[in-house]
Amino acid sequence: MESQEDLVPTIVVEPPSVLRWRTMVAVPLAAAFAFGVHMLIAKSEAPLETHSYRLLFAEIIGVSIVLALLRRFSPGLRRWMANMWPIFTAAIVILCVWDVITLGFRILPLPYFPGPSAVLRSLINDRFLLLDSTWHSLVLLLSGYGLGIIAGLISGVCIGWSAPIRYWGMPILKVVGPIPATAWIPLALVVSPSAIVSSAALIALAVWFPVTMLTASGISNTRAAYLDVARTLGAGPRYLIFRVAIPAAVPNIFIGLFMGLGASFLTLVVAESVGVKSGLGWYVSWAQGWAEYGKVFAALIIMAAFFSTIMTLLFKVRDRVLVWQKGVIKW
Amino acid sequence: MVAVAEIEAASLVVRDVKKSFPAPENPLSRRQVLDGISFSLSPGELVSLVGPSGCGKSTLLRLIAGLDSIDEGDLLVGSARITAPNAERGLVFQDPNLFPWLTVRRNIQAGLVARGLLHEKKQEVDQFMRLVGLETFANVYPHHLSGGMAQRAALARALINHPKVLLLDEPLGALDAFTRMRMQDEVLRLWQARRTTMLLVTHDIDEAIYMSDRIMIMTPRPGRIERTIDVTLSRPRQRDSADFLRLRSDILNFLHFAGTS
């Protein structure tokens, strides 16, 4: 038996196993530098305004020193630091540059581009409303996404498997599917009295199209030989659909799920800023209405963390479900 | 070892079978692929079908498996007419076609799952994995198997249904010469243990002589069985015995592939 390492060319860049001291001190040094720069340019600011930002850097310096001391006890920590420290350093440097451009030289117009310290303050001051908005967005996103997946899988399997359904279903899919879900918003708000329900339906619609398309093509591209083998093993239509065609289509289905997830983020934010009176999209347009751009940026940061976490979770699910592909294709 | 006990094998009767497909160059005309094929296999017989590519061997196997329907003639297993695929007729292809999303164990038990018999016949899965020597690979995905191992898994997957007839479509064609000879013994061992009626399609004449009770030679356009040769050599056969080699040159001569000497 050949091991998969022999078969798959390895082009993954391995993180260095040893943690160089240069890498190790980069984070506290960068943080100290950013801290110093901030002290210089924020002299004229009210101390209360920038207090938490300074505290943040103090914490970064403290934690990175503690981790540097702890590293010898844990190889896992060493590997993680060797891998992540350059990224963290770069992030701190970017914060510093942002600070200099906005607060330092006031190159970007206010109030549209507040400095990082003001954004951090908004983040902290408004944390309860932000948390609440995130929660509402999560509920709306998951209900719409879930609904869209269920509908997309059902219609995708039907269209992919049955020729008559493909004949009638494909034209509908091709005509209706490419319309961006957000284009339906004016209609959706009229049809349904509840903005939440109509937004969930719009998100579902946005997800439904790519999931249906990719599921249908995955099902109809099932290798005929797999179906022939299953038939000679005594398989009926149920086995052929659920145990052969659908598993064979799963790699395709996941592509649809990823495309649908991207579409659902977009639709969620637009729907929230137009109709729904809660959620992160609503928060952004509400904060913009008050010209509180610190809050706008705070919400964008939360969105980035929120959406990328969900994306990462979907990747993890895929890795679990498609473990049989490992070594067959390059991940 | 799996118990041989009950008579599982059945006879296979092919009577005047005809099959045509639309001609690829002109969709309005049809091309006769099989033109009046007739033969029969007694229960427990191992018969080979040899012939050049395109003579309709694989088409014939698909018809017997029930994957395609015949134009004319009769196809019978025992006394039952073949109309659709059925677990009593197993089919093993040149490509093992293991389901890549299932482990070896789950591949082998697929037939039991498909027929809703997994619960009552669970212990047979282990027997068949042992029969083909894959018990230590139960939880491995097919991608990690070598060609020979994958084909053994495919054989076990077909055999677990206790087919009355096993159809083999160049099952060893993709293997290297050494693995192929080992697998020939393996298939013979399975055949002797289970006495399943086997119809083996191959274009390896040595393989046909080494394995079968009878060899049917097919010629193409349209596909016909031109000659049937009984192989009376005693088993186990020697690949280099004089009788073996004489039979081999007979067949090569018949197919016009012998040297000039």
3-state SS record for B78-118: CCEECCCCCCCEEEECCCCCCCCCCCHHHHHCHHHHHCCCH
Helices (H), chain B: 57-65, 104-108, 110-114, 118-131, 147-159, 177-194, 205-211, 242-254
Residues of B near A (Cβ–Cβ under 8 Å) read: 62, 65-67, 85-87, 89-91, 93, 95, 97, 99-102, 110-111, 113-115, 140-141, 143-146, 149, 157-158, 161
Flag whether residue A242 sits within 8 Å of chain B, measured between CB atoms: no
Q: pLDDT tens digits for B150-165?
A: 988 998 898 888 888 9
> What's chain A's average pLDDT?
87
Residue B96 has pLDDT above 80, yes or no: yes
CB–CB of A232 and B157 under 8 A?
no
> Closest-CA residue in chain A for B136?
A1
Residue appearing with tokens 């249904």: B161
Mean pLDDT, contiguous 10-residue spans, chain A (331 residues): 42 57 86 90 76 88 90 86 90 92 85 88 90 94 96 95 93 90 86 86 94 95 93 91 94 95 94 87 91 91 94 93 77 52
Residue B124 has pLDDT above 90, yes or no: no
Distance CA A27, CA A89 (A): 5
Taking the CA of residue B229 as centre, how many other CA atoms within 13 Å lie in the half-sphere pointing to its CB? 22
Contacts of residue A232 in chain B, CB cutoff 8 Å?
65-67, 85-87, 89-91, 158
Q: Please state the rounded mean pLDDT for residues B68-72.
A: 88
CB B18 within 8 A of CB B60: no
Tally of CB atoms within 10 A around B241: 12
- DSSP class of residue A286 equals H
Distance CA A240, CA A236 (A): 6
In what order do the strands lie in the sheet containing B30-41? B30-41, B12-22, B72-77, B80-81
Helix (H, G, I), strand (E, B) or coil at B221: coil
Taking the CA of residue A37 as centre, how many other CA atoms within 13 Å lie in the half-sphere pointing to its CB? 24
Nearest to A328 among B110, B115, B143 (CB): B143
CB neighbours of A33 closer than 8 A, spacing ≥ 6?
A96
CB–CB of A243 and B113 under 8 A?
yes
CB neighbours of A16 closer than 8 A, spacing ≥ 6?
A82
CB–CB of B144 and A2 under 8 A?
yes
Contacts of residue B99 in chain A, CB cutoff 8 Å?
226, 229, 244, 247
Q: Tokens for A27?
A: 């984070």
CA-CA-CA-CA torsion sign (B11, B16, B22, B24): positive
Q: From the CA of B2, how many Å to the nearest CA of chain A? A: 19
Q: Please state the rounded mean pLDDT for residues B27-54.
A: 85
% helix, strand, coil for chain A, step of 5: 80, 0, 20
What ipTM was predicted for this assembly? Answer: 0.87
Q: pLDDT tens digits for B209-225?
A: 999 989 998 887 788 88
Amino acid at site A261: L
CB pairs under 8 A between A and B: 84
Distances (CA, A) of A19 to A15, A236, B241: 10, 58, 69
Distance CA B105, CA B126 (A): 8
Torsion of CA A90, A91, A95, A98, to 10 degrees: 70
Residue B1 has pLDDT above 50, yes or no: no
Taking the CA of residue A161 as centre, how many other CA atoms within 13 Å lie in the half-sphere pointing to its CB? 18
CB neighbours of A211 closer than 8 A, spacing ≥ 6?
A148, A149, A151, A152, A153, A156, A253, A256, A257, A259, A260
CB–CB of B99 and A1 under 8 A?
no
Contacts of residue A8 in chain B, CB cutoff 8 Å?
none
Distance CA B186, CA B152 (A): 8
DSSP for A48-117 reads HHHHHHHHHHHHHHHHHHHHHHHGGG-HHHHHHHHHHHHHHHHHHHHHHHHHIIIIIT--SPTTTS--HH
Residue to substitute from B63, B95, B99, interface A, most A β-carbons within 10 A: B99
Distance CA A80, CA A330 (A): 24
Q: Tokens for B70?
A: 């015949």
- pLDDT bracket for residue B3 (50, 70, 90): very low
Nearest to B93 among A225, A235, A326 (CB): A225
Contacts 24+ apart (CB under 8 A), B115-118: B115/A233, B115/A234, B115/B87, B115/B161
Q: From the CA of A214, how many Å to the nearest CA of chain B? A: 19
Flag whether residue A113 sits within 8 Å of chain B, measured between CB atoms: no
With CA atoms as reference, report the closest residue to A232 among B164, B165, B89, B106: B89
Residue B45 pairs in a beta bridge with none
Distance CA B254, CA B228 (A): 11
Torsion of CA A175, A177, A178, A184, to 10 degrees: 100
Residue to substitute from A227, A229, A243, A321, interface B, most B β-carbons within 10 A: A229
With CA atoms as reference, report the closest residue to B216 among B201, B206, B195: B201
Q: What is the pLDDT, as a whole number, of residue A1?
A: 40
Q: Tokens for B20?
A: 């045509």
Contacts of residue A323 in chain B, CB cutoff 8 Å?
141
CB B65 within 8 A of CB B91: yes
Residue B202 has pLDDT above 60, yes or no: yes
Q: What is the pLDDT, as a whole number, of residue B226?
A: 80
Distance CA A111, CA A292 (A): 7
Q: Please state whether the predicted TM-score (pTM) of the whole model is above 0.90.
A: no
First to last CA, chain A: 22
Flag whether residue A248 sits within 8 Å of chain B, measured between CB atoms: yes
Residue B70 has pLDDT above 50, yes or no: yes
Nearest to B161 among A231, A234, A250 (CB): A234
CB B139 within 8 A of CB B103: yes
Q: What is the pLDDT, as a whole number, of residue A9?
A: 44
Residue B76 pairs in a beta bridge with B13, B81
Nearest to B86 among A228, A229, A234 (CB): A234
Q: From the CA of A226, how many Å to the nearest CA of chain B? A: 6
With CA atoms as reference, report the closest residue to A120 among A42, A231, A173: A42
Residue to substitute from B143, B162, B166, B167, interface A, most A β-carbons within 10 A: B143
What is the gyration radius of the CA atoms in chain A, in angstroms? 25
Helix (H, G, I), strand (E, B) or coil at B38: strand
Amino acid at site B163: P
Q: Tokens for B166?
A: 């096993």
Distances (CA, A) of B191 to A81, A138, B171, B187: 60, 60, 14, 6
Q: What is the pLDDT, as a whole number, of residue A3?
A: 42
Name the least confident of A209-223, B13-27, B200-214. B13-27
Distance CA B115, CA B144 (A): 27
Flag whether residue A6 sits within 8 Å of chain B, measured between CB atoms: no
Nearest to B141 among A229, A231, A324 (CB): A324
Q: What is the pLDDT, as a whole number, of residue A267?
A: 93
Entry field: residues in chain B: 261
